[in-house]
Amino acid sequence: MSFLSVEHVYKDFGATEVLRDVSFSAERGTITAIIGASGAGKTTLLRCLNFLELPDQGTIHLNGKCIWQAGVHYTKAELRELRLNFGLVFQSFNLFPQYTALQNVRMPLQLQWKEKLKAQRLSFGAYQAEKKRRLAESTAAAEAMLRQVGLGEKLHAYPCELSGGQCQRLAIARALILEPSVLCFDEPTSALDPALTGEVLRVIRSLCSEERAMIVVTHDMDFAARVADRVVLMEDGRVKDEGTPELLKTVFQSGGEL
C-alpha cells in the first residue's frame, strides 16, 4: 500500500460538487504535483487533506493505517491529532504578523509541550525547571529549522520585514517544525515574483527526503513538470489522469490545456 492513499473522496458545498470520487496516492521521498485549472478542486483537496474541510465521503490512509473515514465522528481533539500528520504552506503564507520569525516557528512546538507538561501535573518548581529546559530546546530546534531554510540571519525579523521568498521559507519552516509525514504546498509560486520560481523549486526539492511525502498544488505546468516526481491532473473535481511528469507533455501534445 502507498504511504499516503486518498480513496474515493467527495466534497460538496451545498449544491456545488467540488470533489467527485477523487483517488490518488503519494509515496515517501517523492513530490506529487496536483495540477488543474482554477476551480478543478485542487485547493479543496488540499484542505481536505489538512482537515480544514471534512470530506463527505471517502477514506484517507497514511502509512498503512486508515486515519480518516467519512461517516465516522471525530472529536475536535482527534481532528487536531490528525492534522499534525500534515503540514501546509498556504498560498498567502498566513504567517502570524505579531511574532518574529523565531516565534512563528517555535510557537507550535511550545504549545505542544506546554499541553503535555500541564497533563503531567508537576509541582510548581519542577514545572518551571522543565519549562525552561523545553523552551531552550524548542528555541534551538526553531533556530536550526530557520537556518535550514536559509533564514538564520532573520531570526528576530517580523514577517513584514521579510521579502516574499523569505516569507515562504518561513512558512515552510513553521510547517516542518512539527515533523509532519506529509508536507503540502498550496500554489507555492502564485504569490511570488516569477523570478523567484527557481528559488522555490530549489527549496522544495531540497526538502524532499525519505521522512515525508510532499504534495504541491499548482496550476503552473512548467513548475509542476520541474518539481514533481508524479503528477495528478484534476478536472471538474475529478482526477483526469495520473502519472510521471511526462504525462504533462502528452496532455499538451494532444492539444489539452489547463
Partner 1 sequence: MSFFQVTAELMDGFWLTCRLFAETLLYSLPLGLLISFGLLSNFRPLRGVMNVVVWAIRGTPLMLLLFIVFYVPGFAFGVTLDRYPAALLAFVVNYACYFAVIFKGGIQSVPVGQTEAGQVLGMRGGQVFGRVVLFQVFRNILAPVSNEVITLVKDTALARTISVLEIMFMANQLLTTKALVWPLFYTALFYLLFIGVLTLLFQFLEKKVSYYKV
Q: Which is nearer to partner 1, 65 or 76 (CB)?
A: 76
User: Quick one: CA dihedral 177, 114, 112, 105, positive or negative?
Assistant: negative
Helix (H) or strand (E) holding 11: strand 4-13
Q: Which of 36, 159, 165, 188 binds partner 1 (CB under 8 A)?
A: 159
Number of residues binding to partner 1, judged by CB under 8 A: 27
Closest distance between partner 1 and the C-beta of residue 55, in Å? 16
CB of 64 to partner 1, least distance (A): 22
Q: Dihedral of the CA atoms 127, 130, 133, 135 (nearest 10)?
A: -50
Give 100's contacts (C-beta < 8 A, 6+ positions apart): 155, 156, 157, 158
Q: Kindly state whether residue 158 participates in binding partner 1, applying the rule CB under 8 A.
A: yes
The strand pair at 31-36 and 230-235 is best described as parallel
Residues 230-249 that bind partner 1 (CB under 8 A): none
Which residues, in sequence order, are CB contacts of 132 under 8 Å at separation 6+? none
Q: How many Cα atoms occupy the beta-carbon half-sphere of 38 within 13 Å?
A: 1
Q: Candidates 135, 141, 178, 208: give the one binding partner 1 (CB under 8 A).
A: 178
Tell me 153's DSSP state. G
User: CB of 235: closest distance to partner 1 in angstroms?
Assistant: 26
H-only helix segments in 149-196:
164-176
Of residues 81 through 110, those in contact with partner 1 by CB under 8 A are 81, 83-84, 86-88, 90, 92, 94-98, 107-108
Please report, as residue ranges, which positions from 109 to 148 form the binding site for partner 1 (by CB under 8 A): 111-112
Nearer to partner 1, 162 or 224 (CB): 162
CB of 105 vs partner 1, minimal distance in Å: 10
The only residue of 73, 160, 253, 254 in contact with partner 1, by rule CB under 8 A = 160
- Give the shortest CB-107-to-partner 1 separation in angstroms: 7
User: For residue 242, what are the contacts with CB-CB under 8 A and spacing of at least 6?
Assistant: 24, 230, 231, 232, 233
Is residue 54 a contact residue for partner 1 (CB under 8 A)?
Answer: no
- Cell numbers given for 189: 509560486
Per rule CB under 8 A, is residue 24 in the interface with partner 1?
Answer: no
Please state the closest distance from residue 74 (CB atom) to partner 1, in A: 14
CB closer to partner 1 out of 3 and 90? 90
**Widest pairwise Cα distance in the chain:** 70
The DSSP letter of residue 205 is: H
Closest CB 72 distance from partner 1, rounded Å: 20
Angle at 138 between CA 206 and CA 185, to 5 degrees: 35
Sites of contact with partner 1 (CB under 8 A)? 50, 52, 76, 80-81, 83-84, 86-88, 90, 92, 94-98, 107-108, 111-112, 158-160, 174-175, 178
